[in-house]
Amino acid sequence: MNAKLRKQDVDGRVFNAVNVALLLLVTIIIVVPLWNVVISSFSSGRALAEGGFIFWPQELSLENYRAVFNDNNIYQAFFISVAKTVLGVATHVFFCAMVGYALSKKNLRGRKLYVAMGVITMFFSGGMIPTYLLIKSLGLLNSFWVYIIPALFSYYDVVILMNFFRNVPDSLEESAKMDGAGDWRIFLSIFIPLSMPVMATIALFNGVGQWNDFMTTKLYITDQALYPLQMMLYEIIVQSQTQAMQSTAGSAVIETTTKGVQLATIVITTMPIVVVYPLLQRYFISGMMLGAVKE
């Protein structure tokens, strides 16, 4: 009996050791490139030119960051990024919650039709050019609202919310009704507070999406004052890919950005999301589980 227990103990330890080793390895594989980017951004351009992999900053310098922050556009871009993320996420979550709430009610007339219509959008999209035409005729080209309005609705998020709302006991709603609460009151005072975890999850998904999105800008925005950080990053990176046209360019010279500045821009644009992520993560994990199992 004792021997059996001890054997189990040893087995467990071996399992743990292997597990930890494997996971450590995976973590290293993920962390090292990120680390390299951060470290390189603090190194001088000359040191980076030496090439090869570096683990500690070579010739520690802030020149790359100085170059990035010298560009006044970056402050405006930062403001746009924050504004579109905050506003976009808040409206998106609220809007999807409203739709999800309505669709979770069995007595809603035409519910099946709405659900079917929603499901279709999950499988088919309008395509780039028709969407462009739509945005154009809505007058959203070169407008800040192009970041917000088309991003209001996502049926995927509605489904998550809908399933969550369905699991809220009917009796809660009934008792509220008995006390004289209307649909809005029930939605705002009971369902929303109850579904904070799932809303945080959606907010996180959507927030990362908003923060990282540059396609919207690329397609619909030409006014530089409306560029978010990611678009500036995109432009900087793209500059370094102009080599191909050289043989036809006569002696015209195109300026490119150095590697260090590129990396510094990457660090600056990624930093905010890295900071916010852990704060939302506890909701994120509980949110993923919620609504997954029906009891």
Partner 1 sequence: MSKLNAWYGRKGAAFISAMLATALVVSGCSTGGKSADGKGKEVSLEGRYTPNAEEPAWKLDKKESTELTWYVNADWWNTDFGNDVVTKKIKKDLKINIKFITGDDTKLNTIFAGNDKPDLITIFDGNSSVAQKASTWALPLNDLAEKYDPYFNKAAAQDTMNWFKQADGKTYGYPNYSNTQADYESGNIPATTAFIIRKDVYEAVGKPPMKTQEEFKSAMSLIKSKFPNLLPFGFNSIGEGTGSLGDVLQDYLGVPLEDKEGKFYDRNLDADYLSWVKTLNEVYRAGNISDDSFADDNTAFEEKVKSGKYATIFLSGTPQQGGNLQIFMSANPGKEYIAVDGPQSTVGNAPTLNQSGISGWMISYITKDCKDPAKAIQIFTYLLSEEGQMLMNYGIEGETYQVNADKTVSFLPAIKELQLKDADKFKKEYRMGEFMFFGHDRYKALSQDAFLDSIKQMQEWGKGKLKPHFILENTNPAPGTPEARALSAINANWSTALVSMVRAKDEAAFNNTLESYKKFLTENNWSKIAEARSEKMKENKAKLGIK
What is the contact surface with partner 1 in residues (CB under 8 A)? 45-46, 48-52, 128-129, 132-133, 136, 218-219, 222, 224, 234-235, 238-259, 262
C-beta closer to partner 1: residue 45 or 272: 45
Q: For residue 218, which of 153, 125, 135 has the smallest C-alpha distance?
A: 135
Contacts of 128 (CB under 8 A, 6+ apart): 219
CA distance 176 to 222: 50
Q: For residue 47, which of 239, 259, 240 has the smallest C-alpha distance?
A: 259
CA distance 192 to 155: 18
Cβ 111 to partner 1, closest distance in Å?
23
Cβ 156 to partner 1, closest distance in Å?
24
| 239 within 8 A of 170, measured Cβ to Cβ | no
Q: For residue 147, which of 237, 236, 227 has the smallest C-alpha distance?
A: 227
Place of tokens 């852990």: 278
C-beta closer to partner 1: residue 16 or 242: 242
C-beta closer to partner 1: residue 121 or 167: 121
C-beta closer to partner 1: residue 249 or 288: 249
Cβ 117 to partner 1, closest distance in Å?
15
CA distance 123 to 129: 18
State how far the alpha carbon of 274 is from the alpha carbons of 76, 253, 268, 281, in Å. Answer: 21, 37, 10, 11
Cβ 251 to partner 1, closest distance in Å?
4
CA distance 274 to 208: 10
Share of the chain residues as helix, strand and coil, in percent rounded to the nearest 5? 75, 0, 25
C-beta closer to partner 1: residue 2 or 248: 248
| 157 within 8 A of 89, measured Cβ to Cβ | no
Structure tokens at 102: 């309505």
Cβ 255 to partner 1, closest distance in Å?
7
C-beta closer to partner 1: residue 193 or 250: 250
Cβ 76 to partner 1, closest distance in Å?
14
C-beta closer to partner 1: residue 186 or 221: 221
Q: For residue 160, which of 189, 199, 127, 134 has the smallest C-alpha distance?
A: 199
Cβ 159 to partner 1, closest distance in Å?
25
C-beta closer to partner 1: residue 48 or 103: 48
Cβ 155 to partner 1, closest distance in Å?
21
CA distance 156 to 148: 17
